[in-house]
Structure formats: structure tokens, C-alpha cells
Amino acid sequence: MILRTPERIAVEAEFMKELLDFVAVYKVNSSLPILDVQGRIREVITRGEYVQKPVRVETPRKINALEVMPKLDYSTVEKTVEAMRELPNVQHLPPHLVRRIAEPFGSRTRFGNYNFVSTVKNRSAGLTIVAGPEKVTQSAITPRQAELIKNLPKTFRTLKSYVQRAPFLCVDRKMGQNDEFSPRCTLYQSVHREEMVRLAHMVSQTLFPFDGTNNAPHFQLVYIPEWQEKDRQIVVLPHKGITFVLGTDYYGEAKKGFLRMAMWEAKQRGMLGLHAGAKIIRVRGENGRLKTLGMLLFGLTATGKTTHTCHNHGLIGDRQGISILQDDVVFMKKDGAILGTEKGFYIKTDSLDPEQQPILYHAATRPDAIFENVLVDYLGDVDFDDEVLTGNGRCIIQRADLGEHLAESVNLPPLGELDGLILAFITRRNTIVPLVSKLTPIQAAAAFMLGESIESSGSDPRRAGESVREVGTNPFIVGDPAQEGNIFFEIVQGLAETFPDKIHCYLLNTGGVGEIREEEPDGTKILRRKVKRVEIPEMATIIRGIATDTIEWEEDPWFNTSIPKKVPGMDIKKYDRTKFYEKPEIERLVAELRAERREHLEKFPALDPSIKGVV
């Protein structure tokens, strides 16, 4: 039973008033398209400003994958996949023909590009399993994942037969543009359902053309969307460079499938795969000298990683500006060099706006862009704000369509060739985390391990908006996450010792401050005060201040970091936490957050103790 306090009654009354006001207006003006009506009513009901019902999800018992891993003949699996290239049921077509076949299965937009709609609209993270030697297996899996692992011998037998009979399309591409680590990526796409050719087209538009290099690592991904829904699974064999995607048609599984394997292999070669955007920033310091800075922006989907990677921060004229390298995954070397991966960026389209995100909007409206699960009406008009299909609408944009902001290379040179390297960890919090905090290298390593953010519709739409922690803000780590944190700290600390004035680390909060959310006895969460949200132009101004070194800093009394006292071009004081909470409330919220962080880091026994101690 819900307690109907005076405050709750007032919230309910405001909710009903807004809903009925809209319905009344529609009754008078019924010319409004029905999809707009449905969308507006859905927005009023579900946006969460009035009341958030508790989501009662039972936490399944976690199992170590080694407990249930059967004996598997990986050599036979490898031979089965390698033999596919010469099978008579596997067709090899150049990218332009793949595109010509795929586009009729989509909807043409007024921009001259195409939108494709998938049945599955987000990654199947809970159905992803990793098999192989102990160093790659998952330490905590669900009962369903355990069941899938137990059934792997049967799954592999079924696959061996099926791949010899179903029609497949083979696409060869290359990841990255360098002489050191540019893996060959082979997609075997089942076209038993002919429209699935779109997935091969999307892979072709994301990765670079294969140039015939034979000495590079080779990753192979077998994609079978028509696999039975009850047996949907993504099977990753990182030590063999093979992934099977079964029973889903969401493109993100192909994109991340190749990147996941590449990040594992890069780690074996002394590099670290990072879920981060990369750019070059050219700014003039106070002495008038033009500086060239590298910048990496870490962040989970829907936190602003791509938005701010592809933002110019108002750096215009006098040879200032930005050059965009990558928006998703890069490989970091010990000398600070960054190796890029893709020629196409897989961006979210919700609220894509030509004024706030002009670079992304321009690229998304070019003929070579590909929309996925975006609402396109019968006239070809695109509605980026409509979430009738999903809150996870996507677009593959081409680097070539970034115009003047396109970097010549997808790679960043070693730190010794730059004036500095900015590492920015993007979180999205709504209470007492400052908009920006300056970090030491060891605090940056802690931020890397904490990976604080929010769940997005791209990974689990049922939990979208919930607080989440993901090491490195990277859901695609294979192996012990603590090893990633230790490697990251080793690289950053080494660079800071070699170039003491060149490494600059920050935590950026693209959420805001001031939210008050209370929980009633029945578990219902009531929003008492909405967050004071930081706008995209304001965060862009903060990043400009970081790059130009014009922010005046002061000590944060609660988090032992530095926070801005003044930021040129914006009123940072309106986000002062003391304007929203009394001091005892701030101290309570800080204590709770610190305790949560310590508890999280204790989950990693192999993590460097000095990283744990800094929180």
C-alpha cells in the first residue's frame, strides 16, 4: 500500500493536470499526427519527474564460469570457421554491391541516406559468454549464462552443420590504419533472411578496407540472426579470435564483437584497449603560443563521450580548433601514442540537434550515413526525438563527413611529440559530484576502476538511467578488470614521471547537482527536486577552459581534488553544492558515495592497493 502524504497528493495532482491539459488540447486540435500524440502522452507518463516505481529485479546468484565450463575442442571450432571462406554457400561481394543489395531493405530519408529497423534494439549483455583458458573466463556469471556455457558442445556441433548449409555473405575489412596493430576482420553474415545483408553493409561502413596484409591478427565473427530466440547468445573465444552472434540482429553486436577481440589481443601485446573518444585540440595559451594537445574522453554510452569528442568547444580562429580522431575504442601504448580503430562512428541519435551538436548533425545527414532504429515517416522525414521504436536510435556517420574537423590520421602521436595529453573521465551524477575535478594520476587510476556512470538503453533498457559502475567505462573487458586498472596506472604514472607537466587528468560530470530523491516505505522513489543539469555548451566551455589552462582552481573540501573557482565564459557558482544542500546533508551524501566506492574497489583483490587507498 502506498502512503498518500500531502506531498504525494500534490505530485499526483500536478501529473494529472499536465496529462489532462494535453488531452484537452488534442481534442480541440485533432490534426496532430497520432504518433506525436502517442509520443507526448508516453513522455508525460514515463519521464520520471513525478514518481518512479521501484523495479523489483531478483539478483541471480553469481557463478564462476570455470565451475561449469565443459571440455571444448577449440581446434575443431577454429577449423570450422576458417573453412567457411571456401564453402560454396558463402558468397564474396565488394562493399559497393553489398550496399546496393542492402539499401532496398531500408527506408530512404530526405537526406538521401537509409534507415534500417532491427528486431532486437540493444546489446544482449546478459547472454554474452566467454570461453577459453582460465585467464579469459568470466568470474561472475548468471545461471542463464552458465546454462549456455554447459550447452556449448551441442551449440558448436549444431553450428558446424549449419554454416555448411545456410547462405552466407563474407566481408573482409581492417581495423585501424597503422603498421603495428591493424587486425583483419572477417564477417560471415547469414543471409537466410535476405534483409540481414544490412549488417554486412554496416560493418563495411564502420571498418577500413582490407589491403591484403597477412601478418596482422585475424578476427572472425559469424553472425546468424535467425538462430532460435530461446537460444540467443554471443559466444566469444578471444584466444582464438572468434565470436559467434546467434539469435539477434542488433548491429552493435558485430561492432563490439570485433572491438572486444581486438582489445584482448592488444593487451597481450603490451597495449591497453580503451573505451574512449580521441581528438587533437589546438589552443593558444596566455603567452600566445599555439599548443597541440591530445585528449581522451572515457565514458559509457549516452554520457556525452561522442558529443564532446565531436565538439569544437568554441575554439575558432587564430589557427585554434579541434581534429577528431575516434569516438569509441582506441589502443594506448606505453609512450602515450594512441592507435585508432574505425572509419565510421556509431553515434546515438536521441535529441541530435544542429545547434548544440552541429558537427555530428552535419555528418548524420549526409548520404553515406546509416540510421538504425530511428523514426522515419512515410515522407522520409527523420524525427530524432521520437522514441516510439526505441530510446537507442543510432547512426553510423563517416569520419570523412566531419569536414574541417577531420584529423588526417586516426592515430595520436607519442606524448613526447605533443604539448600535453588530457585524460577526461565522464560520469553522470545528479547530486554532489562537482561538474569538473582535477585529478592526480593515482586518482585517475581510481576513476578508471570506478567507471561511474548511468545505465543506457544501448545495454539494458530496463535499467536505463540507473547508477552503474563499469571498470574503464568499458563493458567489453576480457579477463581480470584489476589487470586493466594496474596497466592503466602503470602507463599514466610512467608518462607523468617522464613528462611531469604534460599529463592532465579530470573527472567530468555531465549530469548535474542538486537532485533530491526520497524513498517511501513501499520502495517507491519520489523526486522532490529535479537536478540542476549542466548543458552541453557549458561543459564544452569547461573543456575549453581546461585546454587553454584558464580555469582558476581551489581545493574541494569533500573529495580531496581540485575544483573550479572560476571558469571563463560560464557561471560555475550556480552549480555550487551549498546552494542546494545544507552542509550536514552534503557530508552524508559524500560519506555514502565514498563507502560505495570503497566497496566497489574491494571486489578486485589483484588491484594495486595504492589505488584502493586513494578513494
The answer to whether residue 392 sits within a structural domain is: no
| 579 shares a domain with 523 | yes
Sign of CA dihedral 365, 306, 251, 408: positive
How many CB atoms neighbour CB 101 within 10 A?
17
Residue at which a domain ends, from 268, 294, 329: 268
Report long-range pairs for 608-615 (Cβ below 8 Å, ≥24 apart): 608/445, 608/485, 608/486, 608/489, 610/442, 611/442, 611/445, 611/446, 611/449, 611/485, 611/486, 611/489, 612/446, 614/440, 614/442, 614/443, 614/445, 614/446, 615/446, 615/450
Tell me if 391 is assigned to some domain.
Answer: no
Task: Say how far apart CA 451 and CA 289 lie, in whole Å.
Answer: 35
- The reported pLDDT for the residue numbered 62 is 83
Residue 1 domain flag: no
* Residues ≥6 apart with Cβ < 8 Å to 185: 172, 173, 174, 175, 203, 207, 210, 219, 221, 258
Q: Are residues 250 and 303 in the same domain?
A: no
DSSP string, 535-576: PHHHHHHHHHHHHHT--EEEE-TTTSSEEEEEBTTB-GGGG-
Nearest-CA neighbor of 437 among 547, 595, 559, 281?
A: 559
571 is written with which cell numbers? 557561471
Amino acid at 204: S
Tally the C-alpha atoms within 13 A of residue 317's C-alpha that lie toward its C-beta: 1
What would the DSSP string read from start to end of 178-221? SSS---EEEEEEE-SSGGGHHHHHHHHHHSEEP---SSS-EEEE
Do 33 and 74 lie in one domain? The reply is: no
Are residues 155 and 79 located together in one domain of the fold? yes
All three cell numbers of 470, joined, read 563499469
Judge contact between 48 and 527, C-beta under 8 A: yes
Q: Distance (Å, rounded) from C-alpha 11 to C-alpha 9? A: 5
Classify residue 36: in a domain, yes or no: yes
In angstroms, the CA 157 to CA 151 distance is 10
| Residues linked to residue 94 through DSSP beta bridges, in sequence order | none
Asked whether residue 439 is domain-assigned, the answer is: yes
Supply the pTM of this predicted model. Answer: 0.88
Pair 198, 281 in one domain: no
Closest CA to 53 of 454, 453, 350, 465: 465
Confidence (pLDDT) at 29: 43
Same structural domain, 25 and 117: no
Q: Are residues 338 and 223 in the same domain?
A: no
Per-residue model confidence (pLDDT) at position 18: 62
Residue 542's CATH number: 3.90.228.20
State the Cα–Cα distance between residues 148 and 157, nearest whole angstrom: 14
pLDDT of residue 26: 42
Distance CA 294, CA 419 (A): 8
Q: Which of 235, 268, 301 is the last residue of a domain?
A: 268
Q: With CA atoms as reference, report the closest residue to 543 among 289, 352, 315, 278.
A: 315
Could you give the number of structural domains in the chain? 3
Position 22 scores a pLDDT of 52
Within-domain flag for 319? yes
* Same domain? 293 vs 426: yes
Burial class (CB in 10 A: 0-12, 13-18, 19+), 606: exposed
Please state, in angstroms and rounded to a whole number, the distance separating the CA atoms of residues 490 and 334. 8
Identify whether 176 is part of a domain.
yes
Q: In this structure, are 33 and 95 located in the same domain? A: no
Q: Let me know whether 188 and 315 are in one domain.
A: no
410 in Cβ contact with 399 (< 8 Å): yes
* Same domain? 300 vs 193: no
* Cross-strand partners of 235: 129, 244
Range of the domain at 29: 6-52
As a whole number of angstroms, the distance between CA 479 and CA 261 comes to 12
Residues of the chain with pLDDT under 70: 1-60, 454-466
Tell whether 58 is covered by a domain: no
| 3-state secondary structure at position 285 | coil
194 with 278, same domain: the answer is no
In tens, the pLDDT along 339-363 reads 999 999 999 998 799 998 999 999 9
CATH number at residue 160: 3.40.449.10
C-alpha of 325 from chain center: 16
In whole angstroms, give the CA distance from residue 402 to residue 369. Answer: 12
Are 254 and 199 in contact, with CB atoms under 8 Å apart? Answer: yes
Number of Cα atoms under 13 Å in the Cβ half of residue 187? 37
**End-of-domain residue from the set 242, 268, 294:** 268
Helix (H) or strand (E) holding 504: strand 503-509
Report residue 157 CA to chain centroid gap: 34
Pairing of strands 168-174, 208-209: antiparallel
